[in-house]
Amino acid sequence: MLYHDFLKEKLTEFLDSEKVTNKEKKIESSDLFSIEIPSNQNFGDISTNIAMVYCKDFKISPQDLAKKICKSLKRINDIEKLEIVAPGFINIFFKDIFWSNQLEILMKNFNNYKYSVKKKKICIEFVSANPTGLMHIGHARGAVLGDTIASILEEVGHEVAREYYINDAGEQIKKLMKTINFYKEKDAKSQNIIIEQELYPGDYLKLISKELSKEKLDSENNASVENQVLDLIMRDIKTDLQSMKVNHHSFISEKQISTEKNINNLMDELRNKNLSYYGYQDKPKSVSDKNWKREKQLLFKSKKLGDDMDRALLKPNGELTYFMSDIIYHQNKVDRNYDLLINIWGIDHSGYVTRLKNAINQLNKNKSFSLVVKLTSLVNLLEGRQAVKMSKRSGNYVTLRDVVEKVGVDVLRFMMISRNADKKIDFDFEIVKSKTKDNPVFYIQYAYARCMSLINIFNQTFNLNLSNLNIDNKKLSRLNLVEEKILIKKLCNFFNIIISAANNYEPHKLTNYLFDLAKDFHAYWGVGRLEPSKKIIIQNDLEISKERMILVFGISLIIKKGMSLLKISCPESM
RNA sequence: GGCCCCGUAGCUCAGCUGGAUAGAGCAACUGCCUUCUAAGCAGUAGGUCGUACGUUCGAAUCGUACCGGGGUCGCCA
């Protein structure tokens, strides 16, 4: 077992055995205490706060509990030294052989490691860009984040469905068709362009209108023209998603899901649960203009659930609001019996979260599921620290395909997830294209390429094939350098990082880990330059070279595995 | 004005499910290319963790208030 699972088991055993003797106290989850590699080496190889966490349950001081625990841990052979430090930390020092064994264990179990995670059925909805134009860099953030979260959740064993909700109904589609029709007629009569406020700007829709097939236009069947337009735009969106290696399992159409039956069912449910009524909305605080009219419409009783006001379900003319159709969609997801629904939304939808959660929770009080909304902050495009100029008014913004073409998918993906979703990203073309340490993608890829280079040199020097060596039966005993121990610990921590990234829906934990690992590896490489005895490949010492190469091989495996979860390439040489 | 997010080194950020002396990268300064890829390594310097109270054995982390920055606030999505 790897150290974390091993110690967790031992410590939980201790707690369980004490539970029998201390009947009055029931000890619950074993996830409350930490098992971590401290940054300060004086605090041991591994440190735990278990005594401080459980001392109250045992009704003794943390130090006394720590003594009891240490007594039980002493039976473990590989432990060299145990220290109790105020106010109650237990610091564990292992013999060197323990870490060598850990590396062996890691290598043997690498491809079939079992995450101790309770399997869930999860639906993650992301991108869901409106089919009214091409995607931009903001969409890319949600796309890559959602895609990567999904991959990580799958990695730890969950069942994940990736969905795209197509908003192919409502006002913006009317506006879209108005724009298309404008270009159509304009072409026919070859009139001068009159910029209308009610149209989508930009050249893109002009091009789409030209692509429309003659037959359908001639038929003058509005519905079929609309479908054709939507198909053309979705085709482009899907192409862009593919260029980023973003995959969805299903595309759910708002039009198709908002059937009369679904609408009526929902309205019945809302009425039966006393969640809706026909009434008048309060005048919104931000509204100052004269166009505001008091009109009767179907409202959701969200005010009593902590919202500012009751929210509209139907427009006064009876059409669905976006809120209503979103409830229908989310109810549909709930009815498909997911344990967890994840939505990736842009930060501009933040005000909408409470509303939707209220509605869905009220409608499904008897069901156990959770809805998590992850909001992504803005992405600023920079060119050498200067903001890239974008004109929203003209519709001529930097499209996602421009960005992919300019920097490539690897860098784009990495940058989009390398920091917490709630932080803004400065996406600087100059940095992102650089091939230096400024650019973390290259730094990690370079580490991998160095590993590969070492493997080649090793094979040539000793006329062997590292990948054919019987690593499973190799006993490691000479990996005693500080740098080697640091690397082994880091490698053994890989699966914990994945679990943490999965539980928190935070892929940046993985990108940070990979960067740190690359850094530690480059440092390891560097010591060989200062002291020839610390080189990885020693010409006249096959045994130590082999052991060090097994470590290098392990590093390369972890980097490759991590990068493949992120869908970022690892070139063999650079 | 209401609600949401952010405030950690000069800059960009980790750390936030409470733990020990708060960490990286960039920028600055100093070393290392007869080399296992210098696309790299080693070192120096840099901090009232926005402010103030509170909870606790212990707070960057939790709570409250305030300050500063951003987002959002019809029936758009």
Task: Report which of residues A473 and A328 the model is more confident about.
Answer: A328
Protein residue nearest nucleotide B41, by CA to C1': A526
Taking the model in full, what pTM does it have? 0.94
Q: How many alpha carbons fall within 13 Å on the CB side of residue A304?
A: 7
Q: What tokens appear for A568 in the block?
A: 């970022």
What is the average pLDDT across A541-568? 95
Tell me the mean pLDDT in the region A108-115: 91
Same domain membership, residue A66 and residue A137? no
The domain of A466 spans 440-565
* pLDDT of A24 higher than 60: no
- Count the alpha carbons within 13 Å of A504 in the hemisphere toward its beta carbon: 13
Question: Is strand B less than 7 A from the beta carbon of A174?
Answer: no
Same structural domain for residues A158 and A300? Answer: yes
In whole angstroms, B75 C1' to A337 CA is: 32
Specify the amino acid at residue A472: D
CATH number of the domain where residue A130 is located:
3.40.50.620
| pLDDT value at residue A93 | 95
Is residue A116 situated within a structural domain? no
Q: Which nucleotides of B are covered by protein (CB under 7 A)?
A: 1-6, 12-17, 19-27, 32, 35-42, 57-58, 70-77
Alpha-carbon span A481 to A474, nearest angstrom? 19
Answer yes or no: is A310 within a domain.
Answer: yes
What's the average model confidence in pLDDT over A43-55?
Answer: 92
A408 touches strand B (CB under 7 A): no
Mean pLDDT for the stretch of residues A563-571: 96
Are A487 and A556 contained in the same domain? Answer: yes
Q: What is the pLDDT of residue A195?
A: 55
Residue nearest to nucleotide B35 (CA to C1'): A529
Q: In chain A, which residues from 455 to 484 place their CB closer than 7 Å to nucleic acid strand B?
A: 457
Q: At A352, which amino acid appears?
A: Y
- Does pLDDT of A191 surpass 70? no
Distance in Å, residue A427 CA to nucleotide B5 C1': 20
Please say if the pLDDT value at position A200 is more than 80: yes
Which pLDDT score is estimated for A305?
A: 87
Residue A162 lies in a domain: yes
pLDDT for A196: 57
Domain end among A79, A94, A109: A94
pLDDT in tens, A77-86: 999 999 999 8
Q: Verify if strand B has an atom below 7 Å from the CB of A430.
A: no
Closest by CA position to A234, among listed A210, A252, A259, A218? A252
Give distance CA A521 / C1' B33 (Å). 19
pLDDT value for A220: 66
Q: Is the CB of A81 under 7 A from strand B?
A: no
Report if residue A211 sits inside a domain.
yes
pLDDT tens string A230-275: 999 999 999 999 999 999 999 999 999 999 999 999 999 999 999 9
Identify the residue whose Cα has the smallest distance to the C1' of B58.
Answer: A87
